[in-house]
Amino acid sequence: MRKKEQDYNMFDWWKKVMIDNYANFSGRARRAEYWYFKLFNAFIVFGLWMSFLTLVIGYENRTAGVFILGFIFLYTLATILPSLAVMARRLHDVNKSGWTYLIAFVPFGIFVLLYYSVLDGDRRRNDYGEDPKMPLGRNDIYKIGIE
């Protein structure tokens, strides 16, 4: 039995991005999915760096330090594609193209991406799909009186 998204914890969101949607650039991602993924990644990388520093500086164990450093490199490499994918889906949630991510390469463009990542997504269907906060069939309530 699968959990409902409202019952997800931080690890569930991370797992959703890393396993279920590893290279999925289509659809929409809620703020919770994006930010919990980023937060859990930060915890993992912080823990790995602390392990590295403890082994190398505290215990002067260079062999274990090199092993941890290699693991940090591999983990970072493994999370590049899902990070790009979840950012593209997050941009889709605010009805922006995933290519908007390229604005990060212009001066101060990272602040524009930060702004888009904290915005609430479109409450209705947009160009990239249904509202991920609404269960299937619940979006029909918006159609009342339109036809």
Residue-wise pLDDT tens digits, 26-44: 999 999 999 999 999 999 9
Whether residue 102 is contained in a domain is answered as: yes
Residue with the bigger pLDDT between 82 and 134: it is 82
Provide the domain count of the chain. 1
Given a contact cutoff of 8 angstroms between Cβ atoms, the answer to whether 128 and 63 are in contact is no
Closest Cα partner for 19 from 81, 97, 88, 101? Answer: 81
Cβ atoms within 10 Å, residue 60: 8
Cβ atoms within 10 Å, residue 26: 12
CA 143 to chain centre: 30
Whether residue 117 is contained in a domain is answered as: yes
Q: What is the arithmetic mean of pLDDT over 47-52?
A: 91
Whether residue 94 is contained in a domain is answered as: yes
Beta bridge partner(s), residue 129: 126
Whether residue 73 is contained in a domain is answered as: yes
**DSSP helix/strand/coil, 76:** helix
Residue 74 has pLDDT above 90, yes or no: yes
Exposure of 145 in the CB half-sphere (CA atoms within 13 A):
2
Residue 141 has pLDDT above 80, yes or no: no
Please, what is the end-to-end C-alpha distance for the chain in angstroms?
37
Q: Is the dihedral of CA 122, 19, 102, 34 positive or negative?
A: positive
Task: Name the residue type at position 131.
Answer: D
Furthest CA-CA distance within the chain = 72
pLDDT at 64: 84
pLDDT at 117: 95
Task: Name the residue type at position 82.
Answer: P
Whether residue 2 is contained in a domain is answered as: no
Domain region containing 122? 7-143
Whether residue 85 is contained in a domain is answered as: yes
pLDDT at 61: 80
Question: pLDDT class for 91, splitting at 50, 70, 90?
Answer: very high
Whether residue 1 is contained in a domain is answered as: no
